[in-house]
Amino acid sequence: MCVIVVTPSLNKSFKFQSDWPYSNSQIYLLEAIVRDIEDDEERTFKETSNGYTFMTAVNYPNNRSLVKQKISLSKKLKLKKVQVYNSDSVICMTMEYNDIDYSPTFKKNYFSLDTVMQTYSATEEVKQTGVLEESIYPLMVPSGTKLTNEEKIDKDNGERIIMTFDGEKPFLLVEETANIEDEFTVIPTYGEPYQLMDTLGVMTNNSLNWTTNGIEYYLVSDVLNQEELIEVAQSIGVVQTMK
């Protein structure tokens, strides 16, 4: 199936050929929550003073540390909350539902890309800049690995920084100024969508790229697995850090 992720602030959308909505647990998709209940033959069900709870396994292929979820229902069987736990039984994600429209109606062009872009009204636009004032370094680097080279180069409409990390688990990190397209552009994309902090990234077997705060990031390694790529990526904040 086709999955389209729209990024109005950059005047872009990314087109995936992916079954991502149907092959992953998602705490904000009712169909995914029901599917998790149906698929887990070892699910547990419990009545509480406020309603009912299911405890089920979850399927987050790109984050294997997430292993189970608690689904809370009211006495009238209305979904109230979903909490996702890691292997240490620590709550990592929570979704609370105040009200759900179980019979929504949409205009025929509701999901049209043109309609989405026309109705978009950003409260805070991305500020395009042609320079990278400082490098942003990952706070998590695998043991036995260190930064060995850093190069800043000019591109047609901005700058790019290439960092090489060598050692036991080498990887390459590229940071560059994000480009806002003059016209709305659809970009065919290879890989799977991945929710990364405040943005959606593109994950392949050996790479992860994403855009946030006006900077595009590209992380690639022939050695790091997907979980390790995610750990490095999540440690890259918007605040400049020392080498």
- DSSP assignment of 103-155 equals S----TTTT-HHHHHHH---SS-----S---S----S---TTEEEEEEEEEEE
Per-residue confidence (pLDDT) for residue 123, from 0 to 100: 42
Which residues does 127 contact at the CB level (< 8 Å), separation at least 6?
A: 214
Whole-structure pTM value = 0.68
pLDDT per residue, tens digit, the chain (243 aa), is: 677 777 776 777 777 777 777 778 989 889 999 999 999 999 999 999 999 999 999 998 767 789 999 999 999 999 999 999 999 999 999 999 999 998 889 888 887 777 777 766 544 454 555 678 788 999 999 999 999 999 999 988 889 999 999 999 999 999 999 877 777 777 777 888 887 767 778 889 899 999 888 889 999 999 999 889 999 998 986 544 445
Per-domain residue ranges of the chain: 1-125, 128-234
Give 128-234's CATH code, choosing from 3.40.1010.10, 3.30.450.20, 3.40.980.10, 3.30.200.100: 3.30.200.100
